[in-house]
């Protein structure tokens, strides 16, 4: 017969895995930066385009405002309509998008943090 500790340990691991799946399926940005899904990058915003699939309103995450925020997804393109944007990956490498430009991102690495310079 299994002990209660083994059962609780497995239950906690399963709950963590389910929670991570829910986080990845939702919006990628935290409330600190905020944003919304769209089919295009709106004027005056920094944007990240998903490497695969689409969000609830399209494949492009339009960032709100300036500052730092968490993201947890794979992105293929970054666009900066005005302010520079830095995307940091899980391995602590990063890509920077210069103001008024667009560039490819590493769609094979999990992006975990974004910073919009203002």
* Predicted structure pTM score: 0.72
At 80-110, the pLDDT tens digits run: 999 999 999 999 999 999 999 999 999 999 9
pLDDT of residue 102: 98
Q: Which residue has the higher pLDDT, 117 or 55?
A: 117
In a domain, 111, yes or no: yes
At 48-75, the pLDDT tens digits run: 999 998 888 899 999 998 999 999 999 9
Domain holding 43, by residue range, is 28-116
CATH classification at residue 70: 2.60.20.30
Determine contact, residues 83/117, Cβ cutoff 8 Å: yes
In a domain, 79, yes or no: yes
pLDDT of residue 56: 87
Check the CA dihedral 38-75-72-115 and report its sign: negative
pLDDT of residue 27: 58
Domain tally for the chain?
Answer: 1
In a domain, 15, yes or no: no
At 2-36, the pLDDT tens digits run: 555 454 455 455 445 444 444 444 556 443 468 99
Q: Which residue has the higher pLDDT, 78 or 22?
A: 78
- Rounded to an integer, what distance in angstroms lies between the CA atom of residue 100 and that of residue 98? 6
Query: How far, in Å, are 20, 24, 45, 63 from residue 99 at the CA level?
Result: 33, 28, 10, 14
- Both tokens of residue 27? 């919006």
- Rounded to an integer, what distance in angstroms lies between the CA atom of residue 109 and that of residue 55? 18
In a domain, 14, yes or no: no
């Amino acid at each position: 017969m299994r002990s209660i500790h083994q059962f609780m340990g497995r239950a906690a691991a399963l709950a963590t895995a389910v929670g991570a799946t829910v986080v990845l399926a939702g919006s990628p940005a935290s409330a600190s930066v905020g944003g919304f899904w769209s089919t295009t990058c709106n004027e005056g915003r920094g944007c990240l385009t998903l490497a695969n699939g689409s969000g609830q309103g399209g494949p492009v995450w339009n960032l709100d405002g300036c500052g730092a925020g968490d993201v947890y997804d794979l992105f293929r393109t970054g666009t900066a309509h005005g302010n520079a944007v830095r995307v940091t990956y899980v391995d602590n490498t990063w890509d920077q998008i210069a103001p008024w430009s667009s560039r490819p991102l590493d769609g094979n690495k999990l992006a975990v943090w974004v910073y919009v310079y203002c």
